[in-house]
């Protein structure tokens, strides 16, 4: 039998973590989860999901390509660590609120394309910043660690929260996150006051950020200086690949 050269090349790329079966064939189809990955809601259904990029409630103003369902998909070690944090919060009547987990590589590409589409700012998401500077300023990644399955964006909220949180004025206007504690700025507020070390927010918000960072640190996560909500498991393998399958209801 004559070897299928194209198939052998694709298999080699997949094995090296440079492509996935869906991406290698020129599609972004939904695929079964990798063997070592899980849907976080199935592991712990008490964790609250608020997956923004599966809706139009995000800085692009539309559902992001690749987000066919509001799922939090992660490598099992990262998911297990979050369950540990959730158990600690449950003891105080609180819960994790998840904004984003695995992000398909073509969703990252869509963000990069979107960034180049304007030089204007947006007072609710990137006040005073030109949209086409968001990558160089570190708010949007040219290649995201979210695509590797060990990075998560999250907050803390009361387990029995009202449907809508009161409006909170911040650098991003009166936009606020539903059902979370006050962290001074909402998720995806691309502004210096969203930085972990910022003191340009109320003392109560600083305390909430410090508590979140401490809980995540104890569970093995490292934060990102520019965004109080962004954490990556420190034990992520160096060879963890960037993946590109779409998120769907069946995963």
End-to-end Cα separation, the chain, in angstroms = 36
- To the query of whether residue 226 is one of the catalytic residues in this protein, the response is no
Closest CA to 114 of 55, 152, 70, 61: 61
Q: How far is 157 from 201, CA to CA, in rounded Å?
A: 18
Q: Which tokens is 230 given? A: 């962004």
- Of the residues 94, 136, 226, 227, which is catalytic? 227
DSSP H stretches of helix in the chain = 5-15, 21-24, 40-43, 76-90, 105-115, 203-218
Asked whether 193 and 201 are in contact (CB, 8 A), the reply is: yes
Angle between helices 203-218 and 76-90 (to 10 degrees): 130
DSSP SS3 for 48: strand
Residues sharing a CB contact under 8 Å with residue 211, sequence separation 6 or more, in sequence order: 156
Asked whether 191 and 172 are in contact (CB, 8 A), the reply is: yes
Q: Which residues are catalytic?
A: 227
């Amino acid at each position: 039998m004559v070897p299928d050269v194209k198939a052998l090349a694709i298999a080699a790329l997949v094995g090296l973590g440079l492509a996935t079966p869906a991406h290698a064939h020129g599609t972004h189809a939904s695929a079964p989860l990798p063997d070592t990955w899980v849907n976080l809601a199935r592991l712990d259904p008490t964790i609250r999901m608020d997956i923004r990029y599966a809706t139009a409630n995000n800085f692009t103003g539309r559902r992001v390509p690749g987000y066919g369902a509001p799922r939090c998909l992660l490598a099992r070690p990262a998911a297990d660590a979050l369950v540990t944090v959730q158990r600690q919060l449950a003891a105080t009547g609180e819960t994790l609120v998840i904004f984003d987990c695995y992000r398909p590589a073509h969703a990252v590409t869509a963000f990069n394309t979107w960034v180049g589409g304007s030089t204007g700012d947006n007072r609710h998401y990137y006040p005073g910043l030109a949209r086409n500077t968001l990558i160089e300023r570190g708010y949007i990644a040219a290649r995201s660690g979210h695509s590797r399955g060990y990075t998560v964006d999250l907050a803390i909220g009361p387990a029995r929260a009202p449907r809508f949180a009161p409006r909170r004025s911040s650098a991003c206007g009166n936009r606020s996150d539903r059902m979370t504690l006050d962290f001074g700025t909402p998720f995806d507020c691309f502004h210096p006051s969203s930085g972990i070390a910022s003191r340009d927010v109320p003392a109560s918000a600083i305390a909430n950020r410090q508590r979140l960072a401490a809980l995540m640190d104890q569970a093995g996560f490292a934060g990102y200086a520019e965004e109080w909500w962004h954490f990556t498991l420190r034990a992520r393998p160096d060879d963890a690949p960037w993946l590109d399958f779409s998120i769907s209801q069946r995963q």
